[in-house]
Structure 1
């Protein structure tokens, strides 16, 4: 399916799945000496891809006619795992805070549910367009 909505939602779900794994690993290693927590970065990278955080460097390109070619994206970002080695929570150099990780787990669960709801609604609309022949 060649739709920006589908693309963004599917990449968002991939990021949520990866974030679930990373948070689970952090929680599993809460008592491991010298363990450094990791986090998933996706939303900031997506904002840069879409130039939402950079009004200064945004090009003012406009399609003046429907038959003009669309403006291509310069690459699709995906979620990346980043290790936090700048902090320490305990004497044994472990930096996992179980309260922060559990809050992140809950937040990610809500994010995932919202993304699946949006994707389900998008798929239902596409199905309705295909089966009814209307837009």
Structure 2
């Protein structure tokens, strides 16, 4: 886990943690490849002031920024053209949100399952300790 955390650059961190993983480890090449891809993504010009590297987070940020620009310049009554542009922006945001939700639900289930396994293991361990007292 420490290798994965160190591999992901954080924009508010002034330095990058350097780590060396031997390629002889079965997972070494994968982690180094992941690190390289994340570093490439973080260096892209359009991602410089972004809040996240995840594609969907980047798209949400772009959609909300566009919608904010549209709503800041609105004057009542709203022109039909502006209204259509707002609707289109909201639809784009909805599509990105749905994609993010669809991708995260399986991960959320797995995290919940791991959490429950940990709790069960701790309870079993405590039961074993109490039986020996």
TM-score w.r.t. the length of structure 1 is 0.35
Report the structure, 1 or 2, having the larger helix content: 2
TM-score w.r.t. the length of structure 2 is 0.35
Report the structure, 1 or 2, having the larger strand content: 1
